[in-house]
């Protein structure tokens, strides 16, 4: 594991001052004790997708998201920090997740809103571990996990992977005597076997299918998110870009044949951001090797920008 703290931010520059603000001339390298703001932490990992027999390349996802964020214009003052990347060494995913959790816990304790940049969806167990560390090891808090994803990622497998994250979290929460509160939104019946649906039911997972997530159903979807957020102390939002249609997000390991529209995913992201409960978010599965003209990276970057600017 390596913590690469310095990352480059460059982009179109139209001049000085807040009227020309973009991400690249606003974001600063994070230093300990900085005034609270939104802090990015990358997780450069291919190992979860490799173990899950997917097409690898997500390791470079965090940097591709930064490139896509760079020239996005900022219309209001915002404190943005980049805490760099935790780089997984070879097959040692577990040390990387541990290191990510450590740095994330420090950022959370310093009062930042934190944003994890994957990497495959194995980032979710690292995010959870960091949140658990920052919230404390007792059982006095409840954490709601809102996953926008075509997949449950509730696999039982000999090794942790990008497909096992929420099963790992369920076990860790049970071991700590805390409830497992998991809402999965955008789930595809075609992309999850009956075994996975049965496991989700056993674990009390709250589910919205991809076919239910459309703008005609906006009120019900908003209520689903609001009810879920109301029922927990803290919210963690995780966005797997493969929830989006393959035309919008081709640069992922497992592109969706149907998918949830970008408008709808943005509504879900905004509902989570405005809940007043959101502590941490991450975005996963961007694989630049399969992206077309930065389509997936730009979509992910826009969602992150809107999430960060709409926190309530």
Ligand X SMILES: N=CN[C@@H](CCC(=O)O)C(=O)O
Q: Is 8 annotated as a binding residue?
A: no
Of 58 and 150, the one with the shorter C-beta distance to Mn ion is 150
How far, in Å, are 57, 100, 273, 280, 291 from residue 307 at the CA level?
25, 21, 6, 11, 22
- Asked if 121 is part of the footprint of Mn ion (rule: CB under 5 A), the reply reads yes
Q: What stretches of the chain adopt beta strand conformation (E)?
A: 2-4, 28-29, 38-44, 80-87, 113-118, 143-148, 181-187, 206-209, 234-240, 278-284
- The Cα 50–Cα 160 span in angstroms is 11
Q: Is 89 annotated as a binding residue?
A: no
- Asked if 121 is part of the footprint of ligand X (rule: CB under 6 A), the reply reads yes
Structure tokens belonging to residue 149:
């994803």
Of 67 and 147, the one with the shorter C-beta distance to ligand X is 147
CB 52 within 8 A of CB 38: no
Of 84 and 119, the one with the shorter C-beta distance to ligand X is 119
Interacting partner of 163 out of ligand X, Mn ion, none (Cβ under 5 to 8 A depending on kind): ligand X
CB 34 within 8 A of CB 110: yes
CB 2 → ligand X: shortest distance, Å?
A: 24
Q: Is 14 annotated as a binding residue?
A: no
Of 83 and 243, the one with the shorter C-beta distance to ligand X is 243
User: How many residues are recorded in the chain?
Assistant: 312
- Asked if 151 is part of the footprint of ligand X (rule: CB under 6 A), the reply reads yes
- Asked if 155 is part of the footprint of Mn ion (rule: CB under 5 A), the reply reads no
Q: Is 151 annotated as a binding residue?
A: yes
Binding region for ligand X (CB under 6 A) out of 16-24, 136-144, 148-156, 295-303:
148-156
CB 19 → Mn ion: shortest distance, Å?
A: 39
Q: Is 149 annotated as a binding residue?
A: yes
- Asked if 163 is part of the footprint of ligand X (rule: CB under 6 A), the reply reads yes
CB 148 within 8 A of CB 213: no
Of 139 and 193, the one with the shorter C-beta distance to ligand X is 193
- Asked if 47 is part of the footprint of Mn ion (rule: CB under 5 A), the reply reads no
Q: Is 153 annotated as a binding residue?
A: yes
DSSP string, 158-226: SS--TT-HHHHHHHHHHHTT---EEEEEEE-GGGS-HHHHHHHHHTT-EEEEGGG-SGGGHHHHHHHHH
Which positions touch ligand X (CB under 6 A)?
52, 54, 121, 151, 153, 155, 162-163, 191, 254
Detail the residues annotated as belonging to a binding site for Mn(2+).
Answer: 121, 149, 151, 153, 240, 242
């Amino acid at each position: 594991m390596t913590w690469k703290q310095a990352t480059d931010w460059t982009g179109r520059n139209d001049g000085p001052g807040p009227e020309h603000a973009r991400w690249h001339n606003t974001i600063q390298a994070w230093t300990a004790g900085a005034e609270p703001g939104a802090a990015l932490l990358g997780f450069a990992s291919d190992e979860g997708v490799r173990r899950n027999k997917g097409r690898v390349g997500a390791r470079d996802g965090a940097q591709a998201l930064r490139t896509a964020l760079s020239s996005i214009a900022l219309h209001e003052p915002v404190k943005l920090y980049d805490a760099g990347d935790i780089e997984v060494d070879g097959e040692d995913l577990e040390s990387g997740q541990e290191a990510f959790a450590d740095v994330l816990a420090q950022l959370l304790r310093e009062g930042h809103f934190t944003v994890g940049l994957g990497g495959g969806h194995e980032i979710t167990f690292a995010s959870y571990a960091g949140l658990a560390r920052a919230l404390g090891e007792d059982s006095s808090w409840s954490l709601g996990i809102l996953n926008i994803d075509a997949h449950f990622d509730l696999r039982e497998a000999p090794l942790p992977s990008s497909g096992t994250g929420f099963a790992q979290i369920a076990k860790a929460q049970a071991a700590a005597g805390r409830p497992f509160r998991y809402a999965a939104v955008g789930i595809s019946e075609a992309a999850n076997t009956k075994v996975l649906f049965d496991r989700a039911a056993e674990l009390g997972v709250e589910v919205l299918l991809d076919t239910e997530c459309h703008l005609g159903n906006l009120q019900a979807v908003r209520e689903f998110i609001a009810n879920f957020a109301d029922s927990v102390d803290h919210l963690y939002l995780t966005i797997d870009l493969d929830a989006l249609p393959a035309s919008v997000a081709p640069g992922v390991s497992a592109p969706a044949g149907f998918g949830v529209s970008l408008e709808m995913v943005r509504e879900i992201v905004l509902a989570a951001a405005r809940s007043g409960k959101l502590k941490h978010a991450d975005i996963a599965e961007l694989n630049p090797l399969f992206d077309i003209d930065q389509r997936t990276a730009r979509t992910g970057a826009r969602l992150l920008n809107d999430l960060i600017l709409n926190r309530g």
